[in-house]
Amino acid sequence: MDKELNLEGALRPGLDILSSEIVISLKKRSRYKQNLEIYRPGLVIGHDDLSLLEYELARMEELHAELGRYTYASQEAFTDVRHVPLIIRRQPLPCPIYNFATNFGPETIRFYLGWIETYCPAGSDSDTYGETVTTDIAALLNLFERINLGKYVAECKYKEEPERYRKTGGDPAIIERLLADSEREAKVVEMAMRMAEQYDFDPAQAQYVFYWLIRITLRVEIQYIKNRLAIEKSD
């Protein structure tokens, strides 16, 4: 993805694939009870200060970091993986965008846990703790990757009309008006709802999640443009 910056030719198909993966991961999670114990400290032997989700998410992201996942600008970790060394020898990767951290990880987790408490079956089943947290991690990684691809979308839109963005003076409201695409957003939500029907998942839940996903991704795009303009101004 980092090697090519093309909104329609490369980015849109990737975004659509991620949308499908998000719907599938939500469907998988909806099969299990809320199992709220895995989101509270005290369940992991020897790590009383961590929840099972925090513990397993950190371990999974360390594995991904070893393999270079977070060297891509489209990826951002929920946990601190700066200490994790790469285990693959390869040339530094070219990147066509400015690689700003969004820092929306905690907000993404809060939204996801809120979805669980609202839509997943109440109660607990300790026999499914493992399957549940594994599904949680897959869903969260898919959601966060989809959100961070907003940086690429913002760069594409900026390069199409750089002067219009420069004239905003970094005003978030003006930048938002330039970035927002209500027609595209409606298509994304409609596609997610169709996918939900295909996978026997509640379309209303897909609509709820993807409306939020669009809003937070737009915030990433606004943040990206503001940071980009600030760098240009300082040069």
60 inside domain: yes
Is residue 11 pLDDT above 80, yes or no? no
Q: In the numeric block, which tokens belong to residue 85?
A: 């060394």
Q: In the numeric block, which tokens belong to residue 25?
A: 């991961």
Tell me if 44 sits within 8 A of 59, measured CB to CB: no
Please state, in angstroms and rounded to a whole number, the distance separating the CA atoms of residues 213 and 147.
7
Annotate 149-159 with b (16+ C-beta within 10 A) or e (fewer).
bbbbbbbbbbe
2 inside domain: no
Q: In the numeric block, which tokens belong to residue 114?
A: 């809120």
Is residue 184 pLDDT above 60, yes or no? yes
Is residue 156 pLDDT above 70, yes or no? yes
1 inside domain: no
* Mean pLDDT in residue range 86-95: 84
Q: Considering the chain, what is the average pLDDT of its residues?
A: 93
In this predicted model, which residue has the larger pLDDT, 94 or 78? 78
Task: Tell me what pLDDT residue 120 has.
Answer: 97
Task: Tell me what pLDDT residue 7 has.
Answer: 61
Task: Tell me what pLDDT residue 180 has.
Answer: 93
Task: Tell me what pLDDT residue 13 has.
Answer: 80
User: Which H or E element spans position 224?
Assistant: helix 203-234
* Mean pLDDT in residue range 198-204: 96
* Mean pLDDT in residue range 164-190: 95
In this predicted model, which residue has the larger pLDDT, 101 or 47? 47
Query: What is the distance, to the nearest Å, from the Cα of residue 64 to the centroid of all Cα atoms in its chain?
Result: 15
How does pLDDT run across 29-72, given as a tens digit for each residue? 999 999 999 999 999 999 999 999 999 999 999 999 999 999 88
How does pLDDT run across 105-133, given as a tens digit for each residue? 999 999 999 999 999 999 999 999 999 99
* Mean pLDDT in residue range 132-157: 95
Q: What is the CATH number of the domain that holds 227?
A: 1.10.590.10
147 inside domain: yes
Q: Which of 193, 197, 151, 146 is nearest to 16 (CA)?
A: 146
Task: Tell me what pLDDT residue 3 has.
Answer: 46
| The model's pTM | 0.92
Residue given tokens 């513990």 in the structure block: 55
Is residue 9 pLDDT above 70, yes or no? no
Number of C-beta neighbours around residue 41 at 10 A: 13
Number of domains, the chain: 1
Domain that holds residue 210: 7-234
180 inside domain: yes
228 inside domain: yes
Q: How far is CA 182 from CA 134, 187, 215, in A?
A: 34, 9, 11
118 inside domain: yes
Query: How crowded is the C-beta side of 53, counted as CA atoms within 13 Å?
Result: 22
Please state, in angstroms and rounded to a whole number, the distance separating the CA atoms of residues 156 and 154.
5
Q: What is the rounded end-to-end Cα distance, in angstroms, of the chain?
A: 27
Sorted by sequence, the CB contacts under 8 Å of residue 96 that are 6+ apart come out as 2, 3, 4, 5, 155
CA angle 6, 179, 211 (to 5 degrees): 100
217 inside domain: yes
Please state, in angstroms and rounded to a whole number, the distance separating the CA atoms of residues 66 and 231.
30
Residue 7 DSSP symbol: I
Q: Which of 16, 19, 29 is nearest to 207 (CA)?
A: 19
Please state, in angstroms and rounded to a whole number, the distance separating the CA atoms of residues 114 and 205.
12
